[in-house]
A and B are shown apart, each in its own frame.
Chain A
Amino acid sequence: MMAGHWQVIEFTLLVCLGSSVAILAPGTLLAWWLAKTKSQWKTIVETVVFMPLVVPPVATGLILLDLFGRRGPLGSAIRAVFGVDVAFTWRAVLIATAVMSFPLLVRSARVGFDSVDPRLEQIANTLGASRSRVFFTVTVPLAVRGIFAGFLLSFARAVGEFGATILVAGNIPGKTTTLSLSIYNLVQLGKDEEAFALVAVSVLIAFGTVFASELLLRARANSK
């Protein structure tokens, strides 16, 4: 592999790790809310959250471009406050991968929260623990395997992200080109051998993360 390819791999891993970390707290809280709430809004929220799984990624990318472009409501606001552009920068890659992988984190974390026996939370409450203490000392530790499995799955999904990223971040070598985009570029240029080398790397990353998440979920099922 050429030096440029290592740069692409490094960039992809860093941005995808950043996006998975960025969605971890909000995704976990949302998963907890979905697992516990009896609100009439639950189904609507669930549907909206899982939309990126079924909407064409390019459509999601176009919506993000509209929101985060220089003239978009969020893009112009961020430019006004922080003086930076979002679209066609690494920030756009981070946002696109975060949005596309968010449902996987929420789904897996929710399975984790669903598996927590509510009786344990109630008893913790009777022992004098506030709701927040119960959440951090009983609920989250018992759901942590589901949360971490979701984190790994979201990371794997982020690494493989293509459609939304190319729309909102473009495909700028050395700036926004990710592993998936780089494979696409190499195929376009007829460099199939180099493309397959990157395919092998992406398959390896995907296998490692999905395998680890499966191990975690299996360990959770066995510990029940």
Chain B
Amino acid sequence: MKLKFEAIRLPLAHFALELEFEIEATSIGVFGESGSGKTSLLDLLAGVRKAPQGTILLNEFLLQSNAKFVPPNRRAIGYVPQDLALFPHLNVRKNILYGAKRASTPALNTIAIEQVITALNLGNLLERRIVDLSGGENQRVALARAIASRPNLILLDEPFTALDPKLRRTGVELVRQLRHEFSIPFLVVSHSQSELRSLCDVLVEIGAGKILRIYKSNSLC
């Protein structure tokens, strides 16, 4: 994927998020201290927040400019927020199928829902209510729901924060699966640089709303 932010400026509580960069990679990791603007960056990409000025392009497709704003439902960007935001009134099956109606993108229309369910080992949970799931199960469902919507890019916000060390390793493996089994590019936000290093091609460090550095992850390995 090719991601480009041009003169984006979004006022936040204590500073303004200012983004100007261009990256070409299949997996991008963004890290930085809490409150540095990482989630706001994801919100801008997903379209759930709108910057008053600037341009965002994904694979040359204009997501926002000063004159145009593509709404979230037309972006084909899957978003797994930190709190997972699973629909509590729907069971696991209905959660996963919620986004499956999206018009499929040419490269990914071969992803079958069954494949997603099998890959994430959700077969025996399909009729369960969301409130009856464990933290790790919730995470798998949220990931499956995002994949099943056949996105061009998946955004993951601190996907491992709420998990214990064992589940954390499983979570990292799941994200790897995104890349190998489904070939979906992803952008993952975490405060743990080491976790991102093992997952992502390119790392972006953000601090107080500004990009501090961008580098290939293996350059530090």
Q: Residues on A close to B: CB < 8 A?
A: 117, 119-120, 122-131, 137-138, 141-142, 223
Given contacts A125-B72, A129-B99, 4 further A-B contacts (CB under 8 A): A124-B98, A126-B46, A126-B72, A128-B99
Q: Does B31 contact A (CB under 8 A)?
A: no
Let me know if A122 and B87 touch, CB within 8 A. Answer: no
In the complex, which residues of chain A have a beta carbon less than 8 angstroms from the beta carbon of B47? 125-126
| Complex CA distance for A31 and B88, rounded to whole angstroms | 22
User: Whole-angstrom distance between the alpha carbons of A125 and B77 in the complex?
Assistant: 10
B101 CB within 8 Å of chain A: yes
B85 within 8 A of A: yes
Please report whether the interface of chain B is mostly helix, strand, loop or mixed according to DSSP.
loop
Tell me, in angstroms, the Cα distance from A142 to B85 when the chains sit together: 13
A-contacting residues, B140-198, CB 8 Å = 145-146, 149
Q: Does B71 contact A (CB under 8 A)?
A: yes
Report yes or no: A126 in contact with B75, Cβ–Cβ below 8 A: yes
User: Do the beta carbons of A142 and B89 come within 8 Å of each other?
Assistant: yes
Q: With contacts A122-B48, A122-B72 known, is A127 near B99, CB below 8 A?
A: yes
Alpha-carbon distance A223/B76, docked complex (angstroms): 32
Please give, as numbers and ranges, the residues of chain A lying within 8 Å of B2 by CB-CB distance. Answer: none
Question: Looking at B72, B99, B145, which has the most chain A CB atoms within 10 Å of its CB?
Answer: B72
Residues in A whose Cβ lies below 8 Å from that of B145: 127
Q: B83 touching A119 by the CB < 8 A rule?
A: yes
Chain B: how many interface residues by the 8 Å CB criterion? 25
Q: Which of B66-92 contact A (CB under 8 A)?
A: 71-73, 75-79, 81, 83, 85, 87-89
List 27 A-B pairs, Cβ < 8 Å.
A119-B83, A120-B85, A120-B87, A122-B46, A123-B81, A124-B87, A124-B98, A125-B47, A125-B48, A125-B71, A125-B72, A125-B73, A126-B46, A126-B48, A126-B72, A126-B73, A126-B75, A126-B149, A127-B98, A128-B76, A128-B99, A128-B103, A129-B73, A129-B98, A129-B101, A138-B89, A223-B88
Q: A125-B48, A125-B73, A126-B73 are in contact. Are A138 and B87 (CB under 8 A)?
A: yes
**B102 contacts the other chain (CB 8 A):** yes
Report A63 CB to chain B, min CB distance, Å. 40
User: Is the Cβ of B85 less than 8 Å from the Cβ of A117?
Assistant: yes
Question: Which 10 A-B residue pairs are closest in the complex by CB-CB distance?
Answer: A127-B99, A128-B102, A122-B48, A123-B85, A125-B72, A126-B79, A126-B72, A141-B89, A127-B149, A119-B85
Q: How far is the CA of A131 from the CA of B47 in the complex (A)?
A: 13
The CA-CA distance from A39 to B59 in the complex, in Å, is: 36
Cβ-neighbour of B101 out of A126, A128, A141 (below 8 A): A128
Residues in chain B near residue A138, CB distance under 8 A: 87, 89
**Which residues on the A side are within 8 Å of B88 (C-beta)?**
142, 223
Cα separation A121 to B89 with both chains bound (whole Å): 13
State how many angstroms separate the Cβ of B67 from the closest Cβ of chain A: 21
State the CA gap A117–B98 with chains docked (Å): 17
Chain A residues with CB under 8 A of B75: 126
Q: Which residues of B contact A128 (CB under 8 A)?
A: 73, 76, 99, 101-103, 149
Chain A residue at minimal CB-CB distance from B155 = A126
Complex: A129 Cα to B76 Cα, angstroms: 11
CA distance A120 to B102 in the complex (A): 17
B76 touches A123 (CB 8 A): no
Binary per-residue interface labels of chain B (98-113) against chain A in the complex, 1 for a CB within 8 Å, 0 otherwise: 1101110000000000
A124–B101 alpha-carbon span in the complex (Å): 12
Chain A residue nearest to B146 (CB atoms) is A127
Q: List the A side residues contacting B87 at CB < 8 Å.
A: 120, 124, 138
Q: Contact at A119–B81, with CB atoms within 8 Å? A: yes
Q: A119-B83, A119-B85, A122-B48 are in contact. Are A127 and B102 (CB under 8 A)?
A: yes
Docked CA distance A122–B102 (Å): 15
The answer for the CA separation of A136 and B26 in the assembled complex, in Å, is 35
